[in-house]
Amino acid sequence: MYNTLSLPPGRMIRKDQWKLVHYHGDDRPMLFDVERDPGELNDLGADPAHIDVRQNLLARLMREWDGDRVEREVNRQRTRYAPYLRAWGEATALEHPEYWQGRNEMNQFTPPSGRSGDGHPGTNRFSS
């Protein structure tokens, strides 16, 4: 179970059997051999035997990604949607709203009057 409200922005890249996961600000990416480890339980990111794979995938991942820019946008969106998330949390009365364990029908929220949804039923994205 992940607490997605506290994770920094991250990005994943996959090539052949390799999957590399990098979170902004973390110096050590995670590396998985998804053919041998489909559950991604054995992190090979620190294994010296896989340094070339790790460095090549990380360089490719970082080529077109600006973690600082993504983090600024995520924080802007968190601030923008905080009132909706609070209202949803109160309406669903989840014990720990940062962890999603609710029923599917709880993943719907009617925004306050004057706001409209984005046209996708069951989502929690709204426009002003």
The reported pLDDT for the residue numbered 102 is: 54
- Verify that 75 and 58 share a domain, yes or no: no
Last residue of some domain: 65, 84, 106?
65
Last residue of some domain: 36, 65, 94?
65
pLDDT in tens, 51-110: 999 999 999 999 988 888 988 888 888 888 888 878 877 787 766 655 655 555 555 555
- Verify that 53 and 23 share a domain, yes or no: yes
pLDDT in tens, 2-53: 345 567 888 999 999 999 999 988 888 999 999 999 999 999 999 999 999 9
Q: Is 32 exposed, middle or buried, given 0-12, 13-18 or 19+ CB atoms closer than 10 A?
A: buried
Closest to 103 (Cα-Cα) out of 87, 126, 84, 122: 122
* Mean pLDDT rounded to a whole number for the chain: 77
Report d(CA 31, CA 54) in Å as an integer.
Answer: 7
Look at 122 and 65; give whichever has higher pLDDT. 65
pTM equals 0.59
In-domain check, residue 115: yes
Cβ atoms of 126 and 118 closer than 8 Å: yes
The reported pLDDT for the residue numbered 1 is: 34
- Verify that 61 and 75 share a domain, yes or no: no
Cβ atoms of 39 and 81 closer than 8 Å: no
Q: Collapse the DSSP code of 118 into the 3-class scheme (helix H, G, I; strand E, B; otherwise coil) and give the result.
A: coil
The reported pLDDT for the residue numbered 5 is: 57
In-domain check, residue 23: yes
Q: Collapse the DSSP code of 33 into the 3-class scheme (helix H, G, I; strand E, B; otherwise coil) and give the result.
A: strand
Cβ atoms of 109 and 91 closer than 8 Å: yes
The count of domains in the chain is: 2
